[in-house]
Amino acid sequence: METCWLRLQDLTVLTGQRQGNRLIADHGRIVLSASLPRGWELWETAAVHLNAQAEHQYEIKLGLGDAQQPRLAMHYRVLPKCLVQVPFPLTSKALAVDFAFLPPWPGVFKGGIDGTPTKAEEVQTLSLTLYEPTLKSATLEGIDFCQAWSPCDVMGDALVDELGQCKAGQWPGKTENRKALDDYLRKELTWAEKNNRYPDEWSAYGGWTKKRFPATGWFHTAHDGRRWWLVDPEGYAFFSNGMCYGNRTGIYAMADHIEALYDWLPTESGLESHSWTTGDQIPQYVVRNGLEAAKARRLVNFPRANMMKVFGEKWLDAWITINAARMRSYGINTLGVGVNDYGDEPTAEFLAKAKIPYVITLKYFPLTEQRIFRDFPDVFSEEYLQLAQSMAQKELSPYRDDPYLIGYFVTNEPEWLMNQGVNLAQRLLAASGCTASKKALIHALWERYGDIAKLNEAWQTSLASFDELLVPMVRDSWTEKALTDLNDFHLLLVEKYGQVVSSALKEVAPHHLNLGMRYSHASKKTLCGPLNYFDVFSFNRYGDQPASSAAMIAQGADMPMIVGEWHIGAQESGLDAWGLYYTETQAQRAQAIAYYLEQSTQEPHLTGIHYFEYSDQPYLGRFDGECYQIGIIDVCNRPYPLVAEAFRSFAQRMYPLLDGRLTPAVPPVKLDSLIK
């Protein structure tokens, strides 16, 4: 089947102006609309070919349906000043909103999808929006509706220097050349060899020697009558001040089809070959994109290459020595999410030498063949139970005898919760298959109504029997009683989701803490009873107030909690994206981080917060396209000094703040946000 093009003349300009073959932005925004071509649903991809003039990455959004309120919207961030292709999927899974993330492509950064499950016949129009405050204009070649789209090389001037930094511009802390890199890192190694210690009054594990509980030889939880605590193996009160990917030796950057944008790349042989990997070594990439696609993606690690330039074969030992000493001096007593994520990461070497407590994230959550929605399994099925038991044995057995293991996140950011307003019971009714969970729903409704006529009256349906609910049912609206029934069963599904896998994990590793699902955000849709199959409830919390989400969850579950992820970036340090929340300067960023740290001590259910993440992300994007200035260290393994000092200063006050002996003193800072 040949492709079908929508050219610029086929689109109507809703915002901005057309000047020949160029589009001129109106206050940083261009909005276009067009009728979808006949038979558009037969193509797999709508690839937008364009070149936009802006100072920073711009957002592109393709909407299906009304331009103001599309039924379904997909979005990416895109590299400016280069001709790129932005492929939006039109598959049945995309129209069903059956995944949350879009794969990154050359020059095309992290993307996502949201909206209402849509049938092709329900939409006749599309909209295309470009936005970035510095966006001036764009040249749009057109939108190519095609079957087997494949990426092309992105051509343009080199954007990244030989050290992995942005070539353009100057900022405080930029490493000028190879000699400056060498001089700095050798001084850091000398310092680290003499300064590898926690603050005074901290235990070997990073607990507080001024407050004790019974020792068990393992991390556990306790309540002192005032607040929840973690307790270290020696019995000392412990707050998990964590660093996500703290053990990772640099972050891999996308390299395929963008080689021209790098001044230099390491060789793929000899020592420098350890600066390269493929996508199949990154479990999250495999889960989202498939094993075969992952094998074809090449990624390069500039932080590793830089260490090799200075220390040669001894680069890994130098990396561990420097960064373990830094983290201890900053009061980082936990290696957060990502410890065991990458297949070629020297995890065992880091853990053995650093001796810093850590958590692991289980990589292969039991996903049944048929799923209710996105990554939510058929949780009442025997298949789910068997997969959970198999995962527990495979993933926990290697760690179960290590006292430095605090516990494990059962999974990472389940995608089902990322859909706004999701009700899993409604999705179950609409799904094909998932018979075990559908039968559980039918049983629950039979117990509630006892007679199909009563259910029909309550739901305003005309079912001949309860078993008709095994057939997919999609409705645009529900009666109030139906919504109550479906909300109740949604919570039963979430409860079963947690109970089955948690029981299997506790059987294998009874001494270690179950840290929960590490949800992408705190939500009442996860509050399904006492949650006592988790030892700790975990969620991510961006912004400036960690306490508010914990307080909301505490209304439904009085239990210890951990913020699995938070960060604050800054605009001034050479990257083109600055995180989900950010400030203008590093000084403002340091103050905002100090404020967040102090506020975390004031919620009695919070027993830890894990900063995301230790290293800056690559200028041209990591495996999923993220490229944020959020690190404590940059690509040259150089800390941001004001941020490092914010962590170091907080560590001196952390435990007295938690125990109520001191009160917070840092004022808040206004944050800008990528989340609109």
- Three-class SS of residue 380? coil
pLDDT at 529: 79
Q: What tokens were used for 587?
A: 């000084």
User: Does position 676 have pLDDT exceeding 80, yes or no?
Assistant: no
| Residue type at position 657 | L
Which residues, 6 or more positions from 156, have their beta carbon under 8 angstroms from its beta carbon? Answer: 81, 82, 83, 260, 261
User: pLDDT category, 268, cuts 50, 70, 90?
Assistant: very high
178-192 tens-digit pLDDT:
999 999 999 999 999
322-349 tens-digit pLDDT:
999 999 999 999 999 999 888 889 999 9
> What are residue 63's DSSP bridge partners?
73, 127
DSSP-H helix ranges across 509-579: 546-554
**Using alpha carbons only, how large is the chain's radius of gyration in Å?**
26
91-117 tens-digit pLDDT:
999 999 999 999 999 999 999 999 989
Average pLDDT on 458-468 reads 97
pLDDT at 459: 98
User: Does position 1 have pLDDT exceeding 70, yes or no?
Assistant: no
β-strands 125-131, 72-78: how paired?
unpaired
Residue 175: how many CA atoms within 13 Å on its side-chain side? Answer: 25
Taking residue 553's Cβ as centre, other Cβ atoms within 10 Å add up to 21
Average pLDDT on 272-295 reads 90
- Length of the chain, in residues: 676
Taking residue 13's Cβ as centre, other Cβ atoms within 10 Å add up to 15
pLDDT at 419: 92
Average pLDDT on 35-40 reads 93
* Burial class of residue 159 in the structure, from the number of CB atoms within 10 Å of its CB (0-12 exposed, 13-18 middle, 19+ buried): buried
Q: Which of 305-314, 343-352, 384-393, 488-497 has the lowest mean pLDDT?
A: 343-352
